[in-house]
Structure 1
C-alpha cells in the first residue's frame, strides 16, 4: 500500500495545479458519474475554478498517489458581504450569519479518483 502525499496550495499556485484539477474533474465527473451536461463541461468548470480562486482566502488541497493526482478539494473563506446564509429554510440570527472574511470556510469542490 502506498502513502498518499497531501499538498496545500493557495491562489498563486493555481497555474501549477490547474491541469491536475481539470483532468481529475473530467475523469471523475464525466467517466465515473457520466455528468456530461453543460454545467460539467471542462471549460465551464475552469471558469468556476478561476472565479473561486480569485476570492480572498482561496485554498486547495491535492492528494498524490505515486506522483499521480488522487483527488482535490478547494474552498474559500466567506466574505463579509456573502449571501451564503440568505436561503436558509429557517432564518438564522445575525450572530450566526455575520461573516468577517475569516470566520467560515466554504468547501466548493471535493473530487476523488477511483484508485
Structure 2
C-alpha cells in the first residue's frame, strides 16, 4: 500500500476542494460513466456532493500520497428528520430507523482512483473515516451487483439489514448494510 496522509474536511472545507472531489469521483466511477449510468454521469454526483456537505456533522476524508489525491470517503450522523431510511423495501425490526443525531453514522461514499484500486487505500479510508466515531452503528448503501465492493464491506464486518431505493435522482436499488461501532474498541 502507498504511504498515505489523511486530510479531514467539514462541509465548508469540502467545498474548497470540490475540484479534487470531482476528479476522484470521475476516475473512481469511470466505468459507470462510460456505460452512461445516470446515477454517476453528468453533474448528478456533484449535485449530491453539494447537498451532502450541508448536513450537520459532515466529514470528508481524502487520502493523499504527497500532493496527489488517491481516494476519498465521506458521511455524516443521521438526525431525527433524516430521509436516509425513506424508500425501505424490507420490513425491519421496530426502532431500526429511529434516529437522534448520535445513533447512526451514514457512510455515504468511498471512492478510490483506478490506479490505486486494490492497493488497500479503500480499507484505510474506511477505517480513517470511522475511527473515533461516537455513534453506535454505521450504515451504508451498496448496489447488490457491485460484488467487489460488497465483498470488501463484508470482510470489514458490515452485514445486510434491508433493501432500499434512495429518494435521489436516478437512484438504483441498494442493499442497506450495518456495522456496529466503535470500529476498533
TM-score, normalising length: structure 2: 0.55
Larger RCO, structure (CA 8 Å, separation 6 or more): 1
Runs of 5+ consecutive residues of structure 1 not aligned to the other structure: none
Query: Could you list the per-position Cα deviations for residues 72-111 of structure 1 after superposition, in whole angstroms to 9, with x for gaps in the alignment?
Result: 00111111022434516232222x4321112211111100
Q: How does 1:26-105 map to 2 (within 5 A)?
A: 26-30=26-30, 34-36=31-33, 37=36, 38-85=38-85, 87=88, 89-94=90-95, 96-105=96-105
Aligned counterparts of 2:74 and 2:42: Cα–Cα separation in 1: 16
Runs of 5+ consecutive residues of structure 2 not aligned to the other structure: 117-185
**CA displacement at 1:28 relative to structure 2:** 1.6
Query: Could you list the per-position Cα deviations for residues 7-50 of structure 1 after superposition, in whole angstroms to 9, with x for gaps in the alignment?
Result: 111011023221111001111211xxx11223212411110001
Q: Considering only aligned residues, what root-mean-square deviation do their CA atoms show, in Å? A: 1.8
CA contact (8 A) 1:58 1:77 kept: yes
